[in-house]
Amino acid sequence: MRYFLLFLPLFLVAAAGCSRPVDEEAKTNTEVISRGKFARGYAIFADAAFSEDGYRMVEALRAFRESLTYDPDFSRANAYFAYAMLELLRISPMEGEAIGGVTVSLETALRHARKAVEVNPDSGETRGVLAMALLRAGDLEAAGQQLKAARHRENKDYLVAKGDWLRRSAEFTRRPAKPIAAAVECYLRAKAADPGFGVPYVRLLDVYEFVGDKEGIRDIVLEVKRLGKKISDTRRLRYIAHGLLNGK
């Protein structure tokens, strides 16, 4: 017994290392409906993220909310409800506004992101979204802790969050080039993981604008166009004004 207790911590570490994401496959009729609502919201959100369309973000937010009415514990719906709200807050000054009975606020996003982590703590998706919410709240350290706690780190949302964290970290170093380059790598990997999801493309445009990489901006805009998507009118007009696009 004494020897078993001696090696118990090793067994626990090994078990943790082999952990798997929580199984959220629908098993009841209400869960099937919830997953359907989520799928609709995800499709809208993935597309709206390219053009940073606030109206469609709201539509996605409503779909995720409907998903949660059928399954309040569905971690992905909680995570993406928070994610859509964070993107909406990023592109529109909507803090405190009520939409469809939901108050758009950082506090609401944090609450749902925390719920997602509570249900599925090993997921890179849930930890990544909570990290993004904490970054928006200005808590760089807590966001970093969430990223470290995730066991599944090749998820696109985790990679976006890691990129965001690296970009924010660059503000506190004398040599920002290294973390910014690492952030770009994270966004590129996130983009490769799901080419139809708009958030990584927009993040790359933000970084390329910040560092003045005109070629990088053109490449992303052309890639978005090849996918049959559009960047926001605000960005397009800004790029035309700076001679990066021809206006056609």
Q: Are 229 and 51 in contact (CB under 8 A)?
A: yes
User: Would the pLDDT of 171 be above 70?
Assistant: yes
The pLDDT of 12-20, averaged and rounded, is 40
According to DSSP, the residues that pair with 103 across neighbouring strands are 98
Query: CA 42, CA 80: separation in Å to the nearest integer?
Result: 8
Residue 23: per-residue pLDDT = 64
Say what angle helices 177-193 and 156-169 make with each other, to 10 degrees: 170
Element (H, E) at 98: strand 98-99
29-241 architecture in CATH?
A: Alpha Horseshoe (1.25)
Sequence spans of domains, the chain: 29-241
Partner residues linked to 99 by β-bridges: 102
pLDDT of 24 above 90: no
How many of the other CB atoms lie within 10 Å of CB of 55?
A: 9
Per-residue HEC secondary structure of 17-48 comes to HCCCCCCCCCCCHHHHHHHHHHHHHHHHHHHH
Cβ count near 86 (within 10 Å): 20
Q: What is the pTM of this model?
A: 0.88
- Which of 219-248 are b and which e, b meaning 16 or more Cβ less than 10 Å from the residue's Cβ? ebbeebeeeebebbeebbeebeeeebbeee
User: Per-residue pLDDT for 16 more than 60?
Assistant: no
Burial environment of residue 202 by CB neighbours within 10 A (0 to 12, 13 to 18, 19 or more): buried
What average pLDDT does range 19-48 have in this prediction?
88
CA Rg, the chain, in Å? Answer: 19
Determine the Cα–Cα distance for residues 246 and 5; give it in Å rounded to an integer.
70
pLDDT in tens, 191-238: 999 999 999 999 999 999 999 999 999 999 999 999 999 999 999 999
pLDDT digits 0-9 by tens, 47-69: 999 999 999 999 999 999 999 99
Backbone φ, ψ for residue 231 (5° rounding): -80, 170
For residue 40, the number of C-alpha atoms closer than 13 Å in the C-beta half-sphere is 15
